[in-house]
Amino acid sequence: MGWANRIPKQLGSTVGPEANRPPGPHIEGTGDNRHRVEPTVTASCELAPVVRNQEAAPAVVAAHPSVISLCDYMEGGRTYRASCKLLGVSTGEMWRRINATADGKDRYSRARAMAGRIAADEVLEIADAATPETVQVARLRAEKRQWYAAKMNPAEFGERTGTVVNVGHGAGANITVTDETLKLLQERRRIALEGMRPASAEVVNESAPDPQ
């Protein structure tokens, strides 16, 4: 038995006559059993997908369920204290729960704004329902709700502080400007006056005798 026949079968394709066989179609067999063999491709040419490291978005911590219920009550017209009483939570503990998450703060801020709008609507309803007999009570109720609307939603119902400026004669001569606008106008006036002030210079008379 030759040395090539003693090589294991799994290595037989790498030595002997088959080792020099060129790639591609070839003829196998002898005599009448000769036949053409086409090569078969078994290797896969697919590329593996490239996976890039992506930073995960920070998880949003939801507000406490009691905070969500509180905001629902306030947007329905109830006060902060009354809502806490309905939920069985103290006002201090509820305040801590609100400030525990950014979601809680955002929800409470929006609930305050809505509560201010509801109070402002109630002012009109109270005024429309007032009668000569109830006008004093209606005025008190309307003033309190107007104050509440300004505190809960100062951006829409807060008082505008300013200074009354007289700009001429007649009924519409007085206008109200904010303190910031008044300071800006005063600064512009100062700059304008400085620009109109003549430059101070000494005039020297060369013909006059020098003092002894």
Any alpha helices (H) in the chain, and if so which ranges?
65-75, 80-87, 91-98, 102-129, 135-152, 154-157, 179-196
pLDDT at position 20: 54
Whether this model's pTM surpasses 0.75: no
Per-residue pLDDT at 5: 53
Domain with CATH 1.10.10.60 in the chain: 65-157
Give me the DSSP letters along 162-179.
Answer: EEEEE-SSSTT-EEEEEH
- Lowest-pLDDT range of 69-78, 162-171, 195-204: 162-171
Tokens linked to 34: 């000769």
175 — phi, psi (to 5°)? -130, 155
Going by C-beta distance under 8 Å and a sequence separation of 6 or more, which residues neighbour residue 138?
Answer: 126, 127, 129, 130
**pLDDT reading at 43 higher than 70:** no
Residue 191: band (very low, low, confident or very high) from pLDDT cuts 50, 70, 90 = confident
State percent of the chain over pLDDT 70: 58
Phi then psi dihedrals of residue 36, to 5 deg:
-90, 135
| Predicted pLDDT at 2 | 52
The predicted pLDDT at position 94 comes to 97
Per the CB < 8 A criterion, the answer to whether 108 and 72 are in contact is no
Q: Is the pLDDT of residue 150 over 80?
A: yes
**Which of 129-138, 158-167, 188-197 has the least mean pLDDT?**
158-167
In this prediction, residue 12 carries a pLDDT of 44
pLDDT-derived band at 68 (thresholds 50, 70, 90) equals very high
Q: Which two tokens stand for residue 9?
A: 């079968």
Band of the pLDDT at 109, cuts 50, 70, 90?
very high
Task: Give mean pLDDT, residues 130-158.
Answer: 91
**Unique residue bearing structure tokens 């709700």:** 145
Reported confidence tier of residue 29, pLDDT bands at 50, 70, 90: confident
Tell me what pLDDT residue 100 has: 96
CA torsion 79→83→85→90, rounded to 10°?
A: -90
**Topology (CATH level 3) of domain 65-157:** Arc Repressor Mutant, subunit A (1.10.10)
